[in-house]
C-alpha cells in the first residue's frame, strides 16, 4: 500500500504535536512537583516535600473533598435532568425528535463564559430570580445564597454539563433494538417493568459515560467558582491557579495537578471497566 | 373463491382466533385490506407472501404491537385488539430472536417463568447460564422459542423464525418445530415468504398479496387448485396457459382439449409434473396431446426438468429421470390437471 517512508512522514506532525504540547508539559509538571521554591527562586532538587505538604495540611484535603462533593452533585443533577430527557426523546418524542435533539445541542455552541455570566444575572441579588420572587411577594429582600455559593456553582455546572450527560445516554437508548421492548411486553411486562428490566440495564454504558463526563469536567473546573461561586466554594483548580499565579509556588501547584491527573485517570479507567461489563452487543 | 369454503379446517375443532374485517393504514399507505381469517385450536396456519404483502403487519396486530385501523380480533371469546400486548395470551418468536443481551439464557426464558421445563423442551438446558452472544444462530433460535413457550400461550406467533439459519439447520428446525407444535398442542401462526417451508409445515396456508388474502386453504388444496394465476405461480412451479374457451373447446396456442367450462378468455395452470412424454400413439379420452421441441434439459437426480417449445409457447415438464433427450416429442396431460384460474 503505502511506503514506510510515507507512513513515517505523515505520522510525524501528529507525533510532534502530541510530544510538544502534551507529553512535554506533563513531564515538566511531574518534574516541577518534586522541585521547590526558595526565596522566589526555583530550586531543582527533587524531593517529596510538596506531597508531604498536601497530605499534612488539612486545607487541601478539605478543598478536594468540597470539589468532589460539588462534582458529585453536578453529576447527580445532570443525570436526573439528562436521563429523562434522553429517554423521552428516544422513545416518546415522535416526529419532533430531530428538532428537540438540535435544541439540546445548541447551548454547546454558546461560549462557556457567556453562559456563566447569564447565571450571574439570573442568580444575583439584583438578578432575574430575586426580582421575580419579590414581584410575587415571596421575599422582601434578596435571597443571598443564590449567588456566591456552592449552590450557584452546582446550578451553573449542571446547566453546562447536562448536554454532555444527555448525549451518550441518548446514543445508548437509540441503540436498543425496539424489538426488545416489544419482546418484553410480549412476555407480560408492562411499561414500568420493561423500563427497569430491559431499557435501564441496556443504557447503563451510556449512563456511566455521561456521569464520567460530568464528574471529571466538574472536577477540573475553575471558572464557575470564580464567576458565581465566591470564597465559600473555592475548588481545587482555583487553588492550583492561585499557586501558579499570585502565590508563585508552581511546584506545589504541580503536585496538586499530578494528584488530579491520577484521580481523573483512575476514574476514566474505572468507568471504562464498568462500561465494558455492561456492554453486550 | 374457494378460500371461503376452505377457511375452516375442520368443523369439529373450535375456533381459537378470529380476525374480522381488519384493515391497517400507515399514513396514507394501506398495508392490510379487509382481512377476515379464523384459526382453529391446535392448527398450524402459515401466512405466506412476498415482502410487503402485509403478513408481518397482520402478525403484529395479533401480538398487539400495532392497532388495527378497522375491524376486530377475537380470541376464545375475548376481544383481543383492545388489550395491551402484555395482557394477551399470545407470545411471539421474533425474526431476529430479540433475546435480551444483558440476560443469560435462563434469565431470558425466566422473563416469562417456568424456565427449566421450557429449556428442556428445546434441548438447551446445558446453556442455561450462557449469554445469548455466546450462542450460535440455531441455539439462539431455540432460546427464543423456549422464551415464547414458557408462558404456555394459547397462540404462538412466529415471524420468519428460520430465515436467518442456513439450509440444513433450517430443515432440521422445521421438523423440530412441527414436532413441538404437535406435542404441545399450541396453535401456531407462522409468517414466511418461503413457499416450500409453508407447504412443509402448515395445516393451512393463507397466501397474502398487497395487503389482502389471496387464498386460504390446505397446502395440498392450494397446490392442486390454485384460485388465481398469482397463487399458481407463487406456490410451486407451474405453466400458465393463456387462451380461450369456445364452443366447448379450450384453446391455448397449439394445445387444445374439450372443456365444459363457460366460454370466454381463460387462464389454465398446468403443473410441470402433470405433463408426461406420450407413450401411446393415440390420445386417450380425458387427455390432451401436443408436440413440442426440447430446448433445455435439467437433470436433478430422481427427476429432470425439460423446457419445451410448443409452436412458440414455452412449457416446463418434469419427468422421472430417463437420460438425454433431443428433438421433437409428443407430450400428454390429463385435462383435469389443467386448472382454470383467475387473473
Torsion (CA) B163, B164, B167, B168 in degrees, nearest 10: -120
Residue A197 lies in a domain: yes
Least confident of A116-120, A135-139, A180-184, B116-120: B116-120
Tell me which residue in A182, A188, A281 faces B101 most closely, judged by beta carbons.
Answer: A281
User: Which chain A residues are Cβ-neighbours of B65 within 8 angstroms?
Assistant: 182, 185
| Most A-contacting residue of B63, B96, B102, B130 (CB-CB within 10 A), to test interface | B102
Instruction: Output B105 or A70, whichever has higher pLDDT.
Output: A70
Residue B322: CB atoms within 10 Å: 9
pLDDT band at A170 (very low <50, low <70, confident <90, very high): very high
Boundary residue ending a domain (B187, B202, B227)? B227
| Averaged pLDDT of chain A | 90
pLDDT of residue B168: 84
| Percent of chain B whose predicted confidence (pLDDT) is above 90 | 33
d(CA B286, CA B336): 7
Residue B114 lies in a domain: no
pLDDT of residue B62: 93
Residue B216 lies in a domain: yes
Residue B113 lies in a domain: no
pLDDT of residue B71: 94
Enclosing domain of residue A165: 59-277
User: Which chain A residues are Cβ-neighbours of B133 within 8 angstroms?
Assistant: 280-281
User: Does B7 score more than 70 pLDDT?
Assistant: no
Q: Please give, rounded to a whole number of angstroms, the shortest distance from the CA of B319 to a CA of chain A.
A: 47
CATH code of the domain in which B307 resides: 2.40.50.140
Domains: count for chain B? 2
Residue A91 lies in a domain: yes
Residue B84 lies in a domain: yes
pLDDT band at B112 (very low <50, low <70, confident <90, very high): low
pLDDT band at B116 (very low <50, low <70, confident <90, very high): low
Q: Please give, rounded to a whole number of angstroms, the shortest distance from the CA of A179 to a CA of chain B.
A: 6
Boundary residue ending a domain (B182, B201, B227)? B227
Boundary residue ending a domain (B175, B200, B227)? B227
User: Does B218 score more than 70 pLDDT?
Assistant: yes
CB pairs under 8 A between A and B: 60
Write out the three cell numbers for A268. Answer: 476514566
Residues B204 and B260 in one domain: no
Residue A84 lies in a domain: yes
pLDDT of residue B167: 83
Residues B190 and B334 in one domain: no
Residues B183 and B246 in one domain: no
| Averaged pLDDT of chain B | 85
Q: How far apart are the first and last CA of chain B?
A: 13
Decide if B111 and A182 are in contact by the 8 Å CB cutoff.
Answer: no
Q: Average pLDDT, stretch B85-103?
A: 86
Residue A162 Cα to chain centre, angstroms: 10
pLDDT band at B170 (very low <50, low <70, confident <90, very high): confident
User: Does B120 score more than 50 pLDDT?
Assistant: yes
| Percent of chain A whose predicted confidence (pLDDT) is above 90 | 60
pLDDT of residue B113: 61
Torsion (CA) A60, A63, A69, A74 in degrees, nearest 10: -130
**Residues in chain B whose beta carbon is closer than 8 A to a beta carbon of chain A?**
63-65, 84-86, 90-92, 94, 96, 98-102, 111-112, 131, 133, 147-148, 151
Closest alpha carbon within chain B to A191: B86
Q: Please give, rounded to a whole number of angstroms, the shortest distance from the CA of A206 to a CA of chain B.
A: 14
Decide if A186 and B96 are in contact by the 8 Å CB cutoff.
Answer: no
Residues B197 and B270 in one domain: no
Place of cell 416446463: B316
User: Which chain B residues are Cβ-neighbours of A186 within 8 angstroms?
Assistant: 63-64, 85-86, 90-92, 148
User: Does A85 score more than 90 pLDDT?
Assistant: yes
pLDDT of residue B121: 66
Does A46 lie at the interface with B, CB-CB under 8 angstroms? no
Domains: count for chain A? 1
Closest alpha carbon within chain A to B148: A187
d(CA A264, CA B317): 77
Residues B165 and B62 in one domain: yes
Residue B184 lies in a domain: yes
Decide if A186 and B133 are in contact by the 8 Å CB cutoff.
Answer: no
Closest alpha carbon within chain B to A201: B102
pLDDT of residue A200: 94
pLDDT band at B5 (very low <50, low <70, confident <90, very high): very low
Does A195 lie at the interface with B, CB-CB under 8 angstroms? no
- B265-296 confidence digits (pLDDT tens): 999 999 999 998 887 667 678 888 899 999 98
Least confident of A35-49, B111-125, B307-321: B111-125
Q: What is the 3-state secondary structure (H, E, C) of chain B?
A: CHHHHHCCCCCCCCEEEEEEEEEEEECCEEEEEEEEEEEECCCEEEEECCCCCCHHHHHHHHHCCCCCCEEEEEECCEEHHHCCHHHCCEEEECCCCCCCCCCCHHHHHHCCCCHHHHHHHCCCHHHCCCCHHHCCHHHHHHHHHHHHHCCCCCEEEEECCCCCCCHHHHHHHHHHHHHHHHHHCCEEEEEECCHHHHHHHCCEEEEEECCEEEEEECHHHHHHCCCEHHHHHHCCCCEEEEEEEECCEEEECCEEEECCCCCEEEEEEECHHHEEECCCCCCCCCEEEEEEEEEEEEEECCEEEEEEEECCEEEEEEEECCCCCCCEEEEEEEHHHCEEEEC
Residue A67 lies in a domain: yes
Does A276 lie at the interface with B, CB-CB under 8 angstroms? no
Question: Beta partners for B265?
Answer: B244
Tell me which residue in A187, A278, A280 faces B111 most closely, judged by beta carbons.
Answer: A187
d(CA B267, CA B226): 12
Does A111 lie at the interface with B, CB-CB under 8 angstroms? no
Residue B144 lies in a domain: no
Enumerate residues 72 to 101 of chain A having a beta carbon within 8 A of any beta carbon in chain B: none
| Percent of chain A whose predicted confidence (pLDDT) is above 70 | 99
Q: What is the 3-state secondary structure (H, E, C) of chain A?
A: CCCHHHHHHHHHHHHHHHHHHHHHHHHHHHHHCCCEEECCEEECCCCCHHHHHHHHCHHHHHHHHHHHHHHHHHHHHHHHHHHHHHHHHHHHCCCCHHHHHHHHHHHHHCCHHHHHHHHHHHHCCCCHHHHHHHHCCCCCCCCHHHCCCHHHHHHHHHHHHHHHHHHHHHHHHHCCCHHHHHHHHHCCCCHHHHHHHHHHHHHHHHHHHHHHHHHHHHHCCCHHHHHHHCHHHCCHHHHHHHHHCCCCCHHHHHHHHHHHHHHHHHHHHHHHHHHHHCCCC
CATH code of the domain in which B163 resides: 3.40.50.300
pLDDT of residue B2: 39
Closest alpha carbon within chain A to B156: A186
Q: Average pLDDT, stretch B146-153?
A: 80
pLDDT of residue A41: 85
Residues B269 and B160 in one domain: no
Q: Please give, rounded to a whole number of angstroms, the shortest distance from the CA of B307 to a CA of chain A.
A: 46
Residue B33 lies in a domain: yes
Closest alpha carbon within chain B to A181: B98
pLDDT band at B128 (very low <50, low <70, confident <90, very high): low
Q: Average pLDDT, stretch B251-270?
A: 88
Residue A188 lies in a domain: yes
Write out the three cell numbers for B183. Answer: 406435542
Enclosing domain of residue B247: 237-341
pLDDT of residue A56: 93
pLDDT of residue B146: 81
| Most B-contacting residue of A178, A185, A186 (CB-CB within 10 A), to test interface | A186
Does A177 lie at the interface with B, CB-CB under 8 angstroms? yes
d(CA B201, CA B304): 26
Q: Average pLDDT, stretch A98-121?
A: 89
pLDDT band at B4 (very low <50, low <70, confident <90, very high): very low
Q: Average pLDDT, stretch B84-105?
A: 85
Q: Please give, rounded to a whole number of angstroms, the shortest distance from the CA of A190 to a CA of chain B.
A: 6
Asked if residues A123 and A155 have their Cβ atoms less than 8 Å apart, the reply is: yes
d(CA B45, CA A196): 35
Residues B296 and B253 in one domain: yes
pLDDT of residue A7: 87
Residues B205 and B301 in one domain: no
Decide if A189 and B96 are in contact by the 8 Å CB cutoff.
Answer: no
Supply the pTM of this predicted model.
0.78
Residue B106 lies in a domain: no
Asked if residues B334 and B283 have their Cβ atoms less than 8 Å apart, the reply is: no
Decide if A179 and B96 are in contact by the 8 Å CB cutoff.
Answer: yes
Decide if B86 and A177 are in contact by the 8 Å CB cutoff.
Answer: no
pLDDT band at A197 (very low <50, low <70, confident <90, very high): confident
Residues B73 and B186 in one domain: yes
pLDDT of residue A59: 92
| Most A-contacting residue of B85, B103, B140, B143 (CB-CB within 10 A), to test interface | B85
User: Does B77 score more than 90 pLDDT?
Assistant: no
pLDDT of residue B3: 40
Closest alpha carbon within chain A to B65: A182
pLDDT of residue B8: 43
Residues B79 and B12 in one domain: yes
pLDDT of residue A26: 94
Closest alpha carbon within chain A to B91: A186
Residues B186 and B254 in one domain: no
Asked if residues B43 and B190 have their Cβ atoms less than 8 Å apart, the reply is: no
Decide if B131 and A180 are in contact by the 8 Å CB cutoff.
Answer: no
d(CA B275, CA A9): 74
Q: Average pLDDT, stretch A81-102?
A: 93
From the list A207, A165, A150, A192, the residue with the least C-alpha distance to A81 is A165
- A216-274 confidence digits (pLDDT tens): 999 999 899 998 888 888 999 999 999 998 888 999 999 999 999 999 999 999 999 99
CATH code of the domain in which A131 resides: 1.10.3720.10
User: Does B6 score more than 80 pLDDT?
Assistant: no
Decide if B92 and A182 are in contact by the 8 Å CB cutoff.
Answer: yes
Residues B263 and B204 in one domain: no
User: Does A17 score more than 90 pLDDT?
Assistant: yes
Write out the three cell numbers for A66. Answer: 468540597
Amino acid at each position: 500500500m503505502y511506503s514506510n517512508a510515507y507512513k513515517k512522514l505523515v505520522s510525524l506532525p501528529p507525533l510532534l504535536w502530541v510530544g510538544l504540547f502534551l507529553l512535554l508539559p506533563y513531564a515538566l509538571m511531574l518534574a516541577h512537583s518534586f522541585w521547590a521554591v526558595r526565596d522566589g527562586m526555583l530550586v531543582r532538587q527533587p524531593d517529596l516535600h510538596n506531597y508531604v505538604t498536601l497530605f499534612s495540611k488539612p486545607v487541601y484535603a478539605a478543598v478536594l473533598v468540597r470539589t468532589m462533593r460539588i462534582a458529585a452533585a453536578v453529576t447527580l443533577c445532570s443525570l436526573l435532568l439528562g436521563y429523562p430527557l434522553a429517554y423521552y426523546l428516544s422513545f416518546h418524542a415522535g416526529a419532533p425528535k430531530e428538532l428537540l435533539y438540535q435544541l439540546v445541542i445548541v447551548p454547546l455552541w454558546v461560549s462557556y463564559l457567556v453562559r456563566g455570566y447569564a447565571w450571574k444575572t439570573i442568580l444575583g441579588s439584583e438578578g432575574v430570580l430575586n426580582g421575580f420572587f419579590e414581584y410575587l411577594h415571596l421575599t422582601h429582600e434578596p435571597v443571598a445564597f443564590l449567588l456566591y455559593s456552592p449552590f450557584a456553582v452546582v446550578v451553573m455546572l449542571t446547566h453546562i454539563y447536562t448536554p454532555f450527560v444527555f448525549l451518550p445516554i441518548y446514543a445508548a437508548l437509540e441503540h436498543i433494538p425496539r424489538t426488545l421492548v416489544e419482546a418484553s411486553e410480549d412476555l407480560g411486562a408492562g411499561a414500568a417493568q420493561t423500563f427497569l428490566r430491559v431499557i435501564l440495564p441496556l443504557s447503563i454504558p451510556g449512563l456511566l459515560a455521561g456521569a464520567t463526563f460530568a464528574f471529571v469536567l466538574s472536577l477540573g473546573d475553575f471558572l464557575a467558582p470564580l464567576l458565581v461561586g465566591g470564597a465559600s466554594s473555592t475548588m481545587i483548580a482555583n487553588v492550583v491557579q492561585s499557586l501558579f499565579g499570585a502565590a508563585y509556588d508552581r511546584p506545589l501547584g504541580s503536585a496538586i495537578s499530578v494528584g488530579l491527573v491520577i484521580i481523573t485517570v483512575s476514574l476514566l479507567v474505572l468507568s471504562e471497566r464498568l462500561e465494558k461489563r455492561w456492554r453486550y452487543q | 373463491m374457494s378460500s371461503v369454503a376452505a377457511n375452516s379446517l375442520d368443523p369439529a375443532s373450535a375456533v381459537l382466533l378470529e380476525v374480522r374485517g381488519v384493515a391497517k393504514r400507515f399514513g396514507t399507505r394501506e398495508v392490510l385490506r379487509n382481512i377476515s381469517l379464523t384459526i382453529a385450536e391446535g392448527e398450524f396456519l402459515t401466512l405466506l407472501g412476498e415482502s410487503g404483502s402485509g403478513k408481518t403487519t397482520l402478525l403484529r396486530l395479533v401480538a398487539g404491537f400495532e392497532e388495527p385501523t378497522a375491524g376486530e380480533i377475537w380470541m376464545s371469546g375475548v376481544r383481543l385488539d383492545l388489550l395491551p400486548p402484555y395482557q394477551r395470551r399470545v407470545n411471539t418468536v421474533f425474526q431476529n430472536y430479540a433475546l435480551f443481551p444483558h440476560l443469560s439464557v435462563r434469565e431470558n426464558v425466566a422473563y416469562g417463568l417456568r424456565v427449566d421445563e421450557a429449556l428442556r423442551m428445546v434441548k438447551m438446558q446445558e446453556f442455561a447460564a450462557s449469554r445469548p452472544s455466546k450462542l450460535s444462530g440455531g441455539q439462539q433460535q431455540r432460546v427464543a422459542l423456549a422464551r415464547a413457550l414458557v408462558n404456555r400461550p394459547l397462540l404462538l406467533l412466529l415471524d420468519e423464525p428460520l430465515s436467518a439459519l442456513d439450509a440444513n439447520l433450517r430443515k432440521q428446525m422445521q421438523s423440530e418445530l412441527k414436532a413441538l407444535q404437535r406435542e404441545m398442542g399450541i396453535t401456531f401462526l407462522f409468517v414466511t415468504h418461503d413457499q416450500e417451508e409453508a407447504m412443509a409445515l402448515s395445516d393451512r396456508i393463507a397466501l397474502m398479496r398487497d395487503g389482502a388474502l389471496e387464498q386460504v386453504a390446505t397446502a395440498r388444496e392450494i397446490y392442486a387448485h390454485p384460485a388465481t394465476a398469482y397463487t399458481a405461480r407463487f406456490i410451486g412451479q407451474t405453466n400458465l396457459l393463456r387462451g380461450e374457451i369456445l364452443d366447448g373447446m379450450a384453446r391455448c396456442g397449439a394445445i387444445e382439449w374439450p372443456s365444459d367450462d363457460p366460454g370466454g378468455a381463460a387462464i389454465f395452470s398446468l403443473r410441470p409434473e402433470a405433463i408426461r412424454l406420450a407413450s401411446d400413439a393415440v390420445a386417450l379420452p380425458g387427455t390432451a396431446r401436443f408436440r413440442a421441441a426440447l430446448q433445455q434439459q435439467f437433470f436433478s437426480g430422481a427427476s429432470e426438468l425439460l423446457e419445451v417449445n410448443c409452436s412458440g409457447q414455452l412449457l416446463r415438464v418434469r419427468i422421472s429421470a430417463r437420460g438425454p433427450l433431443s428433438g421433437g416429442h409428443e407430450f400428454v396431460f390429463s385435462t383435469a390437471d389443467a386448472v382454470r384460474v383467475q387473473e
